[in-house]
Chain A
Amino acid sequence: MKTLLVFEYRRGKPAEANQELLGFAAAAGGECAGVLVGAESGLPAFGGKLYLGDIASLGEYDPGRHAELVLQAAQKESPDLIVFLQSSYGWDLAPRVAGRLKAAQVSAVTGLAEGGFETACCNGKMRRLVKPATKVAVLTLQEGSFPLSGTPSGTPAVEKLAPSGSSAGLEFAGYEEPEKKEVDLAKAEVIVSAGRGIGKKDNVPAIAALASALNGEMGASRPVVDAGWVDHNRQVGATGQIVSPKLYVACAISGAIQHLTGMRNSEFIVAVNTDKDAPISEVADVMVIADVMPFVAALTDKLKK
């Protein structure tokens, strides 16, 4: 098995998540090479061959030309697998590369199994075993699925490539920074988060009351923030805040992967849910199977006494 890893730059430096690509390469075995749009002054720790496109000319987001670079590297390496992270960069670029090669793509890979790939489906609740039928396959890796044991090391042998090709009708016009975080959830010892299952905005104060009874902060899952029930600065998840409190209480949160990414490193996780099989159960130390609002009220009541 020969693997081509597509490393990522985020905001001017190699993404920390790149080590999951190395974790995958270690799990898959065989030869591996890398490709990156980046700069020689900041290369990922990787001991293999690295095809490098210059970020100064290619930019951090230019999927037309980045795809071209990956295709050039693929032509030189003839890999069996071209591997991306399941990230805003990876899920955008991978299908463009797969489409150009007419290669099978397996998204959100969580494991290797029976000569195929296991992927998450049904909102992370179920798994599929998928087998590509093409000579080369494109993968995106579900975050957290291929941890690297140890610290990555090595200096890559760089070969520079200068892809031609067009920007595919796109022009990157810069970043818009997130609003200033007035609530720093990362410092809270206890976080009680509200999920969509609380039902309505009127129930938010009861969740906040439980948080306060535990001397903690209130957090929220993405749908609750999207619905305007809770401010964005309390959102926990991949696109909100990444937290690791001593106690995390997830109230009526099913556990979409992007939420789990934000809280799975909490020391102790309690999930209150009516669905015993909700994906949050994968990370919960305690699952309380109950209607959330009466339970939250009873718990708050007892804690206050």
Chain B
Amino acid sequence: MKILVCIKQIPDMASKFKPNAAGSWFSEADLAFRMNEYDEYAVEEAVKLREKDPASELAVLSVGPARVVEALKKALAMGCDRAVHVPDEEAYRKDPWQIASIIAGYAKKGNFDIIFTGMQSQDRGSAQIGPLLAGMLGFSCVTTAIGFSLEGRTATAKRELEGGAKGVVKAALPAVITCQLGLNTPRYPTLPNIMKAKKKEIAVLNAAELSSEAALAGTEKFYAPVKKGTGLVLEGGDAAALAGKLIDVLKEKTTVLRG
């Protein structure tokens, strides 16, 4: 079994985002980066599958600038066998079609049976890479998996639906599975595994050689949303004083503290 997991590195979502000089995406100054949360679930699921079959092999891939090597190292420490870095300082300007094309350019030669990735990135939130990649490779594709099992060449995935029900889908391999939060419990890399990961291979490939597809869409602007409500802000002072202020507001504006 040959397994690939595709990951992205994203800024901490609690950060304050400011536009870059071109005004088309965030400025990376002062931001701390980490592995996309959805991709952590993808890595965990791939590692679990890898562990069941000692003859299998698990590669992790990321497209992006030099900093993404940190995310690759984490995936290696979680249990991936080898990493592939496609350095691309301009990755943030590429659209999902271009990124999927780069990954497909690598994956089509890799003879993979199954590819895991997050259902979306936390920063871009396009949720397109998985299905686009599957289309380019001619793989089956299940999105938003919160349950996964494999028997022979058939994967069974549970898709999360509105209202809490799940749709059960069987997919013939080769397949792309996009992972939803809650699919599993991503492990923390242990110190021995972090040490072991240092010896694992990180291959470097050339983005332009993998794909020369042009963008289908471009980002013109990046900005904070216009606030719809003009909510009241309570801040400063100690917790007791703030709590007192809030109680006054609740007494005035709601009925829940009456009677």
**Are the chains A and B members of one assembly?**
yes
Instruction: List chain A positions with a Cβ less than 8 A from chain B.
Output: 10-11, 61, 63, 87-88, 91-92, 94-96, 98-100, 102-108, 110, 114, 116, 119-123, 125-134, 137, 168-179, 189-190, 214-216, 222-223, 225-226, 232, 235, 238-240, 246-247, 254, 267-268, 270, 275-277, 281-291, 294-295, 297-299, 301-303
B29 near A: Cβ within 8 Å?
no
Q: Which of B153-180 contact A (CB under 8 A)?
A: 156, 158-172, 175
Complex Cα gap A114–B219 (Å): 12
Distance of A131 from chain B, by nearest CB (Å): 6
- Contacts A122-B13, A238-B162, A299-B243 given; does A175 touch B220 at CB 8 Å: no
Q: Are A105 and B159 in contact (CB under 8 A)?
A: no
Chain A contacts for B192, CB-based, 8 A: none
Contact A286 B162 (CB under 8 A): no
Cβ distance A101 to chain B, nearest Cβ, rounded Å: 10
Q: Chain A's nearest CB lies how many Å from the CB of B110?
A: 19
Given the known A-B contacts A100-B135, A177-B165, are A277 and B224 also in contact in the complex, defined by CB atoms under 8 Å?
yes
* Whole-angstrom CA separation of A238 from B163 in the bound complex: 6
- For the complex, is B109 an interface residue (Cβ under 8 Å from A)? no
B126 to chain A, nearest CB (A): 4
Interface residues of B (CB under 8 A from A): 11, 13-14, 16-17, 25-26, 95-97, 119-120, 122-128, 130-132, 135-136, 139-144, 156, 158-172, 175, 181-182, 215-225, 227-229, 231-236, 238-240, 242-244, 246-247, 249-250, 253-257
In the bound complex, how far is the Cα of B223 from the Cα of A130, in angstroms? 12
CB contacts (< 8 Å) of B242 on chain A: these are 288, 290, 295, 298
B225 in contact with A178 (CB, 8 Å): no
Given A121-B124, A178-B164, A287-B234; A173-B169 close (CB under 8 Å):
yes
Contacts A176-B165, A302-B240 known; list 15 others, CB within 8 Å.
Answer: A88-B159, A92-B159, A107-B125, A107-B126, A125-B13, A126-B222, A126-B224, A168-B140, A169-B172, A174-B167, A223-B181, A246-B256, A247-B254, A283-B229, A297-B239
B217: contacting residue among A106, A216, A270, A286, CB under 8 A: A106
State whether A99 touches B131 (Cβ < 8 A).
yes
B217 contacts A133, CB within 8 Å?
yes
Contact A226:B165 (CB < 8 A) given known A116-B220, A287-B232: no
Closest to B218 in A: A131
Closest Cβ neighbor of B216 among chain A residues? A104
For B162, list chain A residues within 8 Å (CB): 10, 87-88, 238-239
Q: How far is the CA of A240 from the CA of B181 in the complex (A)?
A: 14
The 7 closest A-B pairs by CB, nearest first: A169-B140, A178-B164, A289-B235, A104-B217, A104-B216, A99-B135, A95-B131
**Alpha-carbon distance A254/B37, docked complex (angstroms):** 15
B42–chain A nearest beta-carbon distance, Å: 15
A299 nearest CB across to chain B (Å): 4
Chain B residues whose C-beta falls within 8 Å of the C-beta of A61 in the assembled complex:
159, 167, 169
Query: Cα distance A99–B101 when bound, in Å?
Result: 11
Cβ–Cβ contact B231 & A120, under 8 A: no
Contact, CB under 8 Å: B142 / A285 = no
When chains A and B are docked, how far (Å) is the Cα of A232 from the Cα of B246?
A: 29
Known: A170-B142, A285-B253, A298-B243. A114 touches B220 (CB 8 A): yes
Q: Which residues of B contact A247 (CB under 8 A)?
A: 250, 254, 256
Query: Chain A residues near B246 (CB, 8 Å)?
Result: 270, 286, 288, 299
B182 in complex: contacting residue of A174, A226, A275, CB < 8 Å: A226
- Docked Cα-Cα span, A133 to B220, in Å, equals 12
